[in-house]
Structure 1
């Protein structure tokens, strides 16, 4: 049962038991005036009212679902087994089989803006997180959530939910902007951007339940992903004891750079990549995606030109070994996270919570081509360490990131589909059918209003996102050759706009427009998801129309 018993008992005493007592006394006083049969009828009616009211109160609370939102960091669209990957992710794949898998989830293309949309249901610029958590001094880019716009945990908390966050925040790094200031009852994790998995401090602030931690506060065997899982499990135990509905946000830093994982975990993954070129791995993933029916049979690699197979073959054996180890480390980071997801799901089962719990898994943006090891200006108090170990700053580079984003084009920060697209899986027993797929476009800001609707709470008017409950409850069954088509009446009608770091985009039901680095608009048919055939010369009127709409949207949201 998910209701506060003491509060319910008090309400029953106030509104039902006291009147019942008073009524019973009056009945006894005047019992000589009525028959025994009439007295019993009256008593039965009163008791029936009491039972119905009690059941209604109980059902009202029990019907409110728990919500568990699990977020990966910089993980590409194809990095899970259920999206075509060779990386073993049995727990997340199982979640996909038990729930609904989406193929067109669009992010804000970077960590902080995506998290801002999830937390508020709004366009990221509208809540002042158009870039990262640094204050640029101009509207739309202040680097922390606007204090006057409520967050999802704040809204749920007012309705009686317990609220928890384990992991990365990245939505404000000054006092007054921390998770405990924005609606979370409990918090432990990284307050800023991604950091060393073994020793996040002193480079990045780490906090717990209203206080900033010191390096010596973390255990000697600290590893970020496992600490996030351990904390999430403790929060589920706490929620189970409280017997109230809860919202648990699990924000992993995996598989964001740096490439760090225990050596034994890396060695488990090495056979997947030793002696294999990135191009061959991407081709195999695309083949798997076609077999799974999540891309059309005619789909081609959007970044086939990134792989340079001839150049790879000429690479030295030592270099090939390093390339394989990079991807093996990245895969190990995902594998460890997947085990954590499995433990979270097992905990929900153990506490008999799974049946009334919404579980979502997604990534905050596409994979990144960034290679921090090449950034000589990065300030760090840590020594530079070897691949996988303390102090490592390595990223896996453009070729492997192209593999992670298979089959789409480009990377994190950009507004091509490779940067914007993320895997999304949701399980809600008895509400969402298991094994279904949803192929229509939606946004991260749609998550908050959808959760509020399931929780039987009003959706605030300031939210830009749309409730998707009715669309997700009965997703259309679509043949593989049509999964990139526009399917009428399967998503809210709207034109979507993006801006991030000078990169712009717009999406209608028939076209996607992209303007990299504020350059000329490119136009792609919505069925051309790998964005290969620019149709701008044939659609000048469309470009003029949508560029005007973009300027109006940018002015309203403070986007540049």
Structure 2
């Protein structure tokens, strides 16, 4: 049955007065693209991210926050509080002929912007959309007052000023108007800059705001500014084996993983010392550029924080930072040719990407990569910051998911999630509010397990147990995540009753969310894939005259 109107009210989770509650908090949601669990400094990384380090030191980090393993399905759940299938993006942003796989957000699944706008919020977005290519499904048609960014799954970061097959222009949209990125601009800077502009413009209203900043960094192609690349010159000469060990040691020191945590190996990653000198130099450059892309993203967060302070809104704003999936692993052709670079790594002509050996470092200490339901594919850092309300320096287990952010935001905003919207009956929210976790560090009370399905990869998480099968195999594996988050010891044979219980729960969930066997809807050839592991190619659309 459809739920009646659900009103989220503040129930003592905050330590503020009634007068303060009348001044509803602003909300900033920041998501990066294809970044691993350990890439940023607060999660053990060596990349310079001082602004995220500040937010973590003054706020909360979760050890266990889950995404949907790949771009469009993650964004579907993030924006709606639904499973990606329930929202209409069970596979990707392509239409596979069923409502759960139509490739754009359905009308029954309301976006954060639609709900918060009805609650009196200004709704602002800068960055990557990727949940509906047709203009009738663009951000301004789904509740956002202001939008600047790109619609598809990937984009170049530079425009060289003249169209070529190898270096196409960068097509963008601002409030439904199409145009191209100006030559000499860097897209990561433009996303942050427009977020700052939107905040300045919004400050002349008397409304609270919701700002969604969806960076495409560090998603391929590897393109960065020379001054940022220079910061990391020589840093990665130690190689991926030593760097991974460094990060894991820091994660243990920080308390993000246990001292005896299981560490996932990858036998496909060669030892650094097995490479030739020239091979090492090529690989070093890849990671230098990847690090530079994350560095520049963090610089943009700094500009947003500076604007908040200048507007005197920094003491009444919740900021949540996450990644859409784990780092990119091996290249999966799926019937298409790999794009070739027409310039050195880091430049506008570069179509290289991080690749598996470095991604194994980015996802440390976990197993596997983007598009997988193993921990390396679905685990994200989460940093939450709200001065005076979130305890500084907190680290919590969490076991939270994308679907939990919508009810969290609606609760702190005092927003009502409607049973009908524009005469359409809405899908009830599927997650739980994280307010008790954020503001009181209480464990989440979750009545049902967490579930995943994407391209035949399936998983269930209930308490300490995680059930998983990796396509094309349909054989279930079982892991004790409390003891073995590296997923190194399959306990399915020893715990048949747990496998039976969780697989039965999965079947019920799959039916309720219109999930079908992947072999029934699997696209033939390159449909829905134009880049590594499902990322879309930078568009070759023609230049604006």
Give TM class, smaller chain. 0.7 to 0.9
Give the structure 2 partner of residue 467 of structure 1.
Answer: 433
Task: Compute the displacement of 1:318 (Å).
Answer: 1.0
Distance across 1 between alignment mates of 2:457 and 2:334: 22
Structure 1 ranges of 4+ moved more than 6 A? none
Are 2:398 and 2:437, in contact at CA under 8 Å, matched by a contact in 1? no
Secondary structure, aligned partner of 1:418: helix
1:387 maps onto 2:349 in alignment: no
Using CA pairs below 8 Å that are at least 6 residues apart, which structure has the higher relative contact order?
2
TM-score by length of 1: 0.83
Distance change >3 Å, CA 243–CA 533, structure 1 → 2: same
What value does the CA root-mean-square deviation take over the aligned residues?
2.1
Give the structure 2 partner of residue 305 of structure 1.
Answer: 267
Are 1:170 and 1:193, in contact at CA under 8 Å, matched by a contact in 2? yes
Distance change >3 Å, CA 57–CA 265, structure 1 → 2: closer
Distance across 2 between alignment mates of 1:375 and 1:260: 24
Give the structure 2 partner of residue 268 of structure 1.
Answer: 231
Distance change >3 Å, CA 198–CA 371, structure 1 → 2: farther
Distance across 2 between alignment mates of 1:150 and 1:490: 24
Are 2:69 and 2:325, in contact at CA under 8 Å, matched by a contact in 1? yes
1:449 maps onto 2:415 in alignment: no
Give the structure 1 partner of residue 13 of structure 2.
Answer: none
Distance across 2 between alignment mates of 1:317 and 1:538: 47
Structure 1, unpaired ranges of 5+? 1-55, 477-488
Are 1:86 and 1:272, in contact at CA under 8 Å, matched by a contact in 2? no
Give the structure 2 partner of residue 520 of structure 1.
Answer: 475
Give the structure 1 partner of residue 78 of structure 2.
Answer: 118
Secondary structure, aligned partner of 1:225: helix
Are 2:159 and 2:183, in contact at CA under 8 Å, matched by a contact in 1? no
Distance across 1 between alignment mates of 2:248 and 2:465: 23
Give the structure 2 partner of residue 416 of structure 1.
Answer: 374
Distance across 1 between alignment mates of 2:94 and 2:458: 21
TM-score by length of 2: 0.85
Of 238, 242, 262, which residue of structure 2 is paired with 1:280?
Answer: 242
Secondary structure, aligned partner of 1:116: helix
Secondary structure, aligned partner of 1:242: coil
Q: Which has the larger radius of gyration?
A: 1
Distance change >3 Å, CA 383–CA 524, structure 1 → 2: closer
Q: Deviations over 1:443-486 (max 9, x none)?
A: 0110011000001123456110111112221216xxxxxxxxxx
Give the structure 2 partner of residue 242 of structure 1.
Answer: 205
Q: Deviations over 1:307-364 (max 9, x none)?
A: 432xx32322111000000011000000000111111111101110011111111101
Distance across 1 between alignment mates of 2:417 and 2:62: 23
Are 1:192 and 1:205, in contact at CA under 8 Å, matched by a contact in 2? no
Of 491, 504, 508, which residue of structure 2 is paired with 1:552?
Answer: 508
Of 132, 153, 159, which residue of structure 2 is paired with 1:193?
Answer: 153
Structure 2, unpaired ranges of 5+? 1-16, 420-427, 517-545
Distance change >3 Å, CA 553–CA 500, structure 1 → 2: same
Give the structure 1 partner of residue 527 of structure 2.
Answer: none
Are 2:467 and 2:503, in contact at CA under 8 Å, matched by a contact in 1? no
How many positions carry a matched residue from both structures? 484
Q: Deviations over 1:81-121 (max 9, x none)?
A: 11111111111010001111111000011111111111111
